[in-house]
Structures are given as C-alpha cells and as structure tokens.
Chain A
C-alpha cells in the first residue's frame, strides 16, 4: 500500500517495462559493500540509460531499503534521470566563465536546432539536452559536452554545426 505522496512522486517516474535481468549484475557487484546505494543507482542507470520505476522499486527490495530512501537519493542528485534519454546527451555548461562568455545564446541555438527545450529529448531519441553546473573547461568557454566529448569556444553558429555534423555522421553510418 502506498501513500498519496508516494503515488504522486511515482507518477513522475517512467513506467516503461524493461529487462530486469540487467539489474542482477549490478546488485551482485555491490551487494557486499557498505553504503552502496549511490553506486547501485549509478550502475543501474549505466545499464538502462535512466532509472525506470520498476528498477527503482527492485533496487529498494533487493537492497532492503525503503522505497522512500531510494527515491530520495535518486531525486537528490542531478546525475540521476528518471526518463529515457537520447543516444547523444548534450550537457550545456552554465558555469560562471561560460555564462559571461555567452552560454545562454549557445543553449538557445542548440534548442532551436533540435526543436526541444532544456530537459527534453528529440522525438527520434537522438539527442537529449540538459544544463550542467560546470564542466571545468572554463578557459574554453562557452563549453558543451556530448556524451564524453567536450566542445569549446562555441558560438551559436558553431554549436548548431556540431549537431548537424553528428546527424550527418549518423546518416552516413546508417547507409
């Protein structure tokens, strides 16, 4: 039985059904470790790309934690995502140096190019875009990170080109 606030919170999570066996490895890796909950969530997210409701519930059961505790941790840290993400995750840096060097204009240009807002994904599941506090490449500001690659000294125009290039590459791969 769940209370009203639990229902309300769970309504924000994804109810996709996913392959639960992926979780076995994650749990096995950490089950002996003290204070492992963040590591479990991190690896589960690595396996699924995000944290669906069923996975969060299973983690609570299998680590003998209360659901509230798992949800609390998952929603506290900015790294955890409750919704699926695109193949390419764009992080737009909002650090001080990027801010004074025009990161807002870059973020706007990216959103315009992709036709989505910050926090959303494109309908073809190619791109998701999120803001991040600071990527620590301040001398190259403004900076974005796509998956693990950093792009620096951007202008609205060059940022759009980065997206176009990735699309071109993907289409090339598909051919």
Chain B
C-alpha cells in the first residue's frame, strides 16, 4: 500500500502540509510502515487537498478535499481494514473521474502521479529513455526531423514551429550556443507551466537537453519567475539528481555530448516573456525588447545563437521521442498538432488544469470537462491569451481550440489560460483590468505602447465611472489601431486585443455605460444605485450600523432608507443584510 499526497502549490495552499503531518503522526502512532510520498498537481485543483491510496493490487483510490479528521478515518478504515470510504472518493482506477477521462495527457502524464523530487519515479515511467535514444542513436538532423514530423508548435503563445527554431539555431555558426527555457509565465490566469515544473521537472530538463543536442548547444538556462518558489526548489532538486546520474554534465551517457543547466530567477517583469527582453534580463539588464532580426537563433545571449522555448513545449519533447513524431501528430488538427494544456479558472465549476487534443471545441472543454459555470449561472465569455488575448462570447462556444480558429475570434491560444466569465462579469471592467496591466507592464521603449495604453486606460476608467462619452469609444478604437502599428514587440502589438474583442462582441455593454449610465453586470460601483426595498426590510438596523458614512436612517422595526447624497456605494449594506432587502441597480 502507498499513500500519495498532492503537493503542488495548489495542494499546499489548500492544506496538504497539515494532511501530510497528520498521516505521519497517525501512522507512527499505530506503528504502520507505509510509504507516504508527495506528488504534483493532478489538475483537479478544486478538489485539493487530494490523497491517493494505492492498494497492493495497484488500484488507486483518490480522496478529495481531505481534512485532518478524514485522515484518521482513512487510516482506520481504508489503510487498516481495507475498506475504501466511497463517499469521499472522487476517482478510482476502475471508475476514473469524468474530467480525467476526456483528456489526453502527454505533458501532464506524470503530474499528480510521480514524486517530482525522486528521479527514480521519473525513470520508472520512461524518463530519460528519450534522451538515451537521442544522444546514442540519433543525429542532430534526425532529432529536428522527428520534431518536424510531430508538428510541435511553440506552446508559449505565438505557436511558431519548434523544429524551425531548432534548425535555425543549429545552422547558426558558432561553437557557443544556448538553450533557454522560458518559465516566466506571466499571463494572469495561466498556471500550466508552474504545474509542470512542480509536478514533472525532469520532463522539462530532458526536453532541454534534447534541444541542446539538436543544435550542439552546451548550456541551458531556465528563466523562472520569482513568484514560483516551489517550482524553483523542485528544479534545483531535479538538476542535482540529473547531474548525479549523468543526464546532465560532461559526456552525457557516454555520448561525448556535454550539457548543463542553470536556473535564473526572473525579477518580475511581464515583458520578459518576450524573447529579446528575456535575453536582456538574462544578461542582467533591464528587460527591454529589441528589433528582430537578428533573431535570437542568430544573435541571442551575449550575441551567441540562442533558442528559447516555453516550458510546455519542452515537456512534450520526451514523449515525442518515446512514441514517435507521427503518434504526436495523430492528435490535433491539420495545422495544430498534439495536445494543449489549459488552465481553467474564473467562474467555472471544476477549475484546474486539463490537457486536451487540439481542435476540441471550447464548449467541450468548458462544459464537458470544466463542468460548466459555478452556481449554474449564465456563461458570458471566456478570456483566452491573457492581456494579449481576448474575450470569446457565447455565440462562438463551438470554436475549435487550435491556433488559427482562436486567432479568428480576435483572441489567441496564448499560453493556455482560460478564464471563464459569467453574467456578473462586466466586460468594460475586464478591458480596463487588462489595460491597467499592460499599462503597468509596458517597458516604456515605444511611445504608443507607453503613452497609448495609458490614454486607453484613462478612457476605460472614465467609462467605468459613468463619465465616458462616445468620443472615448472612438478614441479607444483609434488608439487600438495605432498601438498595434507603433509597437515593437508582442506586448504592445497585442495590448489592444482585450479592448478590440470586448468592443466587437459586447458593444452594447459599452453603450450601456456611456449612454444609459448603467453597468448591466452590476460591477462598476459608481454606476450603481443602492436602495432598500420597504416591503422586505425588517428594520433590524444592521445596515445602518455598518454604513461607513451614516447614509442609512430609519426607526427600529420600520423600513430604512438610504440617503443617495451620502451613499458612497461601498456595498456594505448589501453584504450584511440578512433579508436581501437591498436592491442594486
């Protein structure tokens, strides 16, 4: 029997540490010698903390939302008496969780299964077999050819063919070349890279080493954001182990090929997700993008040929060599091959990570796998691609998820964040939210991006405060065009997307804010009016006591009133009222 506890950032935040301590304590009390280990995130973050019990037959029982009290029961009934507690079990080997059944797990195949801090767990699951094959049996050209057959495209956002980048770096002259793993996952709403690094760090290392072999590079960097301390810790452990086993270092597995990897911690700048800015940051400078060409494949880190791929891209690589490029290409659509990991978040029932073949429709992902909208509210839009992407409305729910189809909607696949929004999300506020982000994160190099995003933000703020005019809407549209044309890098060129897509699909909401001075989603506070329903109010005086400005008056046990002049629209009254007597319009 084995006990496995979900120990990703999400599991830990949900209380996995306490669960682990409790297991340790109870098992010690009962002098039971059972293997308790940790694992990464299986993707069902809404069910954390998760505990898997594997019985001696090898059947796995997954307990969800485990509490310290449940631990005692699990040990008593399941571990000692061999009777699974089915009311707390969400998935078993015989009857797997529906959310898992519809997925194809290539990148996430080990996440939530193996112990990411034990290299043996990785090698027992085909780990480093691909590397062995590549360095001892293949040529660099053969490696690139296999990637070409697989059709793998960059998973970081732009979707550039991976083989092409590798080939360009290989053909670049020079003995000193670099492989960089972009783990600066900055898109708010995306966390697949964090999960892969925390749950299966060796897969990323193996992918990088193979990339290094294909272009004869001997050094690799992982540029990881500082907000992911656990990912950095696990990577450090993995690198140390890989060096000990000679998967990294000199003369890897007797092949004569040398490769080593160093972790560089990002210092918090969204723009560093852009290749040339990332390189500047690696060199210790401000992360400012520069004009391309020369591309990093020609002139990158300190002027040397450099290949940059995203975490998920590298994590696909070992599978491709273990199963063949053709097997990978069998998944997906004509132009978008393989699978993609998506981070489902926002107003969705089953938030977490899912991996699906490219070409699955948004509806299948959101309803089929994500379980639909929280509290069964109305779906309004799904935001894809973060600040560079856009909001896709309900009418387009049957859009297949592949690079081209999503681009046509005005959004982008991006790194794979899907933030689901319901009727209570204000689309103008969403646009304002993203512009606030890009405005803060603009590096300041290009005038349109630096000042244009600021002007857009001001117009959006005006609209959200009920002070917007039709002139603001025109200005927004004009600025969108100009910022796209006048910016050097992806950040500026895509910054208008959230505004463009919301104007395209939700213009009526903009007009409601501007013309009717109303926020249909009831989110923009200055546009709301709080009133007390006299027939429902019991005169309990709670709201009047909680009102920070003393705007509510009334006698005990008689309906109260709000003085609109004094009301600052903080919403306290609506939050504290036990009788739903506050109406918000």
Contact = CB atoms under 8 A, between A and B. Distances in A.
B351 A150 contact: no
Given A96-B346, A133-B441, A134-B188, A152 B419 contact: no
A132 interface: yes
Interface string A123-134: 000000000111
A76 B266 CA distance: 12
Contacts of B419: 96-97, 100, 138
B270 interface: yes
B226 A133 contact: no
A172 interface: no
Given A96-B346, A97-B419, A135-B227, A77 B302 contact: no
A139 B433 contact: no
Contacts of A134: 186-191, 227
A97 B422 CA distance: 12
B417 interface: yes
Interface stretch (B280-288, B448-456, B506-514, B528-536): B280-288
Listed residue (B285, B345, B421, B441) with the most chain A CB atoms within 10 angstroms of its CB = B345
Contacts of B443: 76
Contacts of B45: 137, 139-140
Interface in B316-367: 343-347, 351-352
Question: Which of A72, A78, A137, A150 is the most central at the interface, judged by chain B CB atoms within 10 Å of its CB?
Answer: A137
Contacts of A166: none
B501 interface: no
B218 interface: no
Given A96-B188, A138-B343, A139-B10, A35 B285 contact: yes
A148 to B, nearest CB: 5
A154 to B, nearest CB: 10
A78 B269 contact: yes
A141 B422 CA distance: 15
Interface stretch (A8-16, A19-27, A36-44): A36-44
Given A35-B283, A101-B346, A152-B13, A133 B188 contact: yes
B185 interface: yes
Given A35-B302, A96-B346, A97-B345, A136 B185 contact: yes
A58 interface: no
B303 to A, nearest CB: 11
A26 to B, nearest CB: 14
Interface in B401-432: 417, 419, 421, 425, 430
Contact of B189 (A76, A78, A138, A153): A138
Contact of B421 (A41, A98, A100, A152): A100
Contact of A137 (B10, B302, B437): B10
A29 interface: no
B221 to A, nearest CB: 11
A34 B425 contact: no
Contacts of B185: 136
Contact of A100 (B228, B284, B285, B425): B425
A112 B36 CA distance: 42
For chain B, the bracket of interface size reads 35 or more
Given A38-B281, A139-B45, A80 B267 contact: yes
Interface in A70-108: 72-73, 76-80, 91, 94-101
A53 interface: no
A143 interface: yes
Interface in B141-195: 185-191, 194
A123 B5 CA distance: 40
A152 B187 CA distance: 19
A78 B191 CA distance: 20
A78 to B, nearest CB: 4
A48 interface: no
A107 to B, nearest CB: 14
Given A138-B189, A138-B191, 17 more contacts: A35-B282, A37-B285, A42-B265, A76-B286, A76-B287, A79-B266, A96-B346, A96-B383, A97-B419, A101-B346, A132-B268, A133-B437, A137-B9, A137-B10, A138-B346, A150-B9, A152-B13
30 contacts: A35-B282, A38-B264, A42-B226, A73-B286, A76-B286, A78-B268, A79-B266, A94-B437, A96-B386, A96-B417, A96-B433, A100-B425, A101-B346, A101-B347, A132-B268, A133-B268, A133-B270, A134-B186, A134-B189, A136-B227, A137-B45, A138-B191, A138-B343, A139-B191, A139-B343, A140-B14, A140-B351, A148-B229, A148-B230, A150-B9
Interface of A: 34-39, 41-42, 72-73, 76-80, 91, 94-101, 132-141, 143, 145, 148-153
